[in-house]
Amino acid sequence: MYTANPKRYEKMTYKRVGNSGLKLPYVSLGLWHNFGSLFPHSNSREMILGAFDLGITHFDLANNYGPVPGSAEETFGRVLSQDLMHHRDEIIVSTKSGYYMWEGPYGEWGSRKQMIASLDQSLKRMGLSYVDIFYSHRPDPDTPLEETVSALVQAVRSGKALYVGLSNYGPERTKQAIDLLKAEGIHCLIHQPRYNMFDRRPEEGLYQVLEQEGVGAIPFSPLEQGLLTDRYLNGIPADSRAAGASIFLKTDHITSEKLEQVRALNELARERGQTLAQMALSWLHKSPVTASVIIGASRLSQIQDCAGAQEGAAFTAEELGRIDKIVLGGQD
């Protein structure tokens, strides 16, 4: 029988999301890959409950998370029903729709048909009557944005979602969606971009739009698929993601130059009294637009290490310049 840590809220930092009344924890737990039916339920349960004991109240999912697709939501729903349902009002649950989920012409992208059906399926898998945040997972090049936005509006007005957000939208499309939602009297709460020290694309206009519109950001892949950790400091371990069957991090992505950059960043993190993962998370919080950062994990100790990022000191201008020189400008 699970009993939540009574001191779980004492150390966690919570930040307001844009111009909203909602606060999110410094780090949020993403259930993208290691929580599906192909992984031991006992480990998934330990990570979810362990995260909650650390004050991590936000759990980020999507309809297609697994593997197999949909099974991460089923895993989370099982833990909710057996351990956490009496804490439901303390928890933020987010899910998304847009990537391929089922056969036929309505199984992906951003049509009203697809998104409402997907949300209903997600609620059923998790055993919930509503989610806290419902995202359009990616922009649809063929469906009018007005239609995709109308599905987000319906999700809120039907009571199936409290807030709505966007993910993987560029700056221009983001501004258009925000304006369409605003015309319906609904504030776009949050945007979920891929963002880390090596991937700076959100700095090319997106964060400026979010700041101007009072929309929060919650970056994913903050550790560059594990590269911004101590995992690869001495090369590519045989049991690592890069050495395995990952479709996202390949051995040819990890060049000698990249490893030198990682080692230099690790040295700076050591000087700051942080692990490299902690510094990478702290770096994303340098912008007030960032409300939280989504971490992935395969074991509880990784979540515990990431939660410690909030204890790091604010970056000095010298440190930020040093990071930029390492990542963007090379080294002496």
pLDDT of the chain along its 332 residues, tens only? 899 999 999 999 999 999 999 999 999 999 999 999 999 999 999 999 999 999 999 999 999 999 999 999 999 999 999 999 999 999 999 999 999 999 999 999 999 999 999 999 999 999 999 999 999 999 999 999 999 999 999 999 999 999 999 999 999 999 999 999 999 999 999 999 999 999 999 999 999 999 999 999 999 999 999 999 998 888 666 555 554 555 555 566 788 999 999 999 999 999 999 999 999 999 999 999 999 999 999 999 999 999 999 999 999 999 999 999 999 985 44
pLDDT at position 237 = 63
pLDDT at position 165 = 98
Short-list 86, 95, 177, 106, CA closest to 130 = 95
pLDDT at position 253 = 74
Measured over the CA atoms of residue 322, residue 293, residue 211 and residue 12, the dihedral's sign is negative
pLDDT at position 289 = 98
pLDDT at position 242 = 54
Locate tokens 């089922």: which residue?
Answer: 102
Contact 83, 122 (CB under 8 A): no
Tokens of 155: 């999700």
CA 218 to chain centroid:
6
Query: 42-65 burial string, b = 16+ CB within 10 Å, else e?
Result: eebbebbbbbbbbbbbbbbbbbbb
Please state the pTM of the whole predicted model. Answer: 0.94
SS (H, E, C) the chain: CCCCCCCCCCCCCEEECCCCCCEEECEEEECCCCCCCCCCHHHHHHHHHHHHHCCCCEEECCCCCCCCCCHHHHHHHHHHHHHHHHHHHHCEEEEEECCCCCCCCCCCCCCHHHHHHHHHHHHHHHCCCCEEEEEECCCCCCCCHHHHHHHHHHHHHCCCEEEEEEECCCHHHHHHHHHHHHHCCCCEEEEECECCCCCCHHHCCHHHHHHHHCCEECCECCCCCCCCCHHHCCCCCCCCCCCCCCCCCCHHHCCHHHHHHHHHHHHHHHHCCCCHHHHHHHHHCCCCCECCEEECCCCHHHHHHHHHHHHCCCCCHHHHHHHHHHHHCCCC
pLDDT at position 329 = 85
CA 194 to chain centroid:
8
pLDDT at position 331 = 46
Q: How large is the C-alpha radius of gyration of the chain? A: 19
pLDDT at position 60 = 99
Per CATH, the number for 14-256+276-314 is 3.20.20.100
What separation in angstroms does the CA of 125 have from each of 58, 108, 156?
A: 18, 18, 19
Looking at the DSSP bridge assignments, the partners of residue 135 are: 96, 165
